[in-house]
Amino acid sequence: MKKVMFLVTVGLITAVLVSSFAVAGQEKTAGEKAKEHGQPSPEEMAAWQKAATPGPHHKLYKDMVGMWNAECTYWMQPGAEPQVAPLKAEFKMLFGDRYLVQTIEGEMMGMPFKGMGISGYDNLKGVHTMVWIDNMSTATMYSEGECAENCTVETHHSVHKDAMTGMDQKVKTVSRIIDKDKHVFEYYMVDPSGGEFKSMEITYTRM
């Protein structure tokens, strides 16, 4: 009889342990359950939301929204007499204050000029970005850069194809926020030795 009771007791203990291990095996994290259903985990969702949320860099772009008079001074080559072109520009935010879109138009070199730029800040890469297109080219220009002096100065570096020589041309641009009603854009061509030639400067004054 004692032997039978012992076997029954062992059997019950074994059943409880097996049941406990089975339940423990079924306990999964929220992330594991999400992946089973082809969904991102809570941690992945939090990372995505952080990357997608506008921050202080985007706020600075938002402060530039409005209509602007833009005086463009440009030099065709080093030492040449400067030429001046009056332009008008509009700045507005796009996609929930994530990007600053600039449209500018007027006349340059005796021809109608229209251009569009999209500026942003990539939270993942930690860099400012800029895309530019205009009616005097078929190229889409892209650059990346960083800001300094409380982000009132933004410097970009890029490489473009020179239309007249067909060679790669290093370019540096500098955007300076003077105050809420004035900012300046400078465009430099960089030679192989690192020397710079400022070929364009645009001064924006709020209307």
| Whether the predicted pLDDT of 18 surpasses 50 | no
| Whether the predicted pLDDT of 105 surpasses 90 | yes
> What residue spans define the domains of the chain?
2-52, 56-206
The pTM score is 0.77
Query: pLDDT tens across 61-91, in order?
Result: 999 999 999 999 999 888 899 999 999 999 9
Number of H helices, E strands in the chain: 4, 10
Query: pLDDT tens across 26-67, in order?
Result: 566 655 666 666 788 888 898 888 888 998 989 999 999 999
| Whether the predicted pLDDT of 21 surpasses 90 | no
Q: Would you state the pLDDT for residue 14?
A: 46
Q: Would you state the pLDDT for residue 27?
A: 60
Q: Which tokens hold the place of 87?
A: 């332009």
| Whether the predicted pLDDT of 99 surpasses 80 | yes
Q: Tell me which residue of 140, 157, 149 sits closest to 194, measured CA to CA.
A: 157
Query: pLDDT tens across 142-198, in order?
Result: 999 999 999 999 999 999 888 888 889 999 999 999 999 999 999 999 887 888 999
CA distance 84 to 166: 27
Q: Would you state the pLDDT for residue 92?
A: 98
Q: Would you state the pLDDT for residue 155?
A: 97
Indicate the pLDDT class of residue 205, thresholds 50, 70 and 90.
very high
Using DSSP's 3-state secondary structure scheme, residue 26 falls into helix
User: C-alpha angle 174/177/182, rounded to 5°?
Assistant: 120
CB-CB neighbours of 64 under 10 Å: 20
Q: Which fold has domain 56-206?
A: Lipocalin (2.40.128)
Phi, then psi, of 127 in degrees rounded to 5: -135, 155
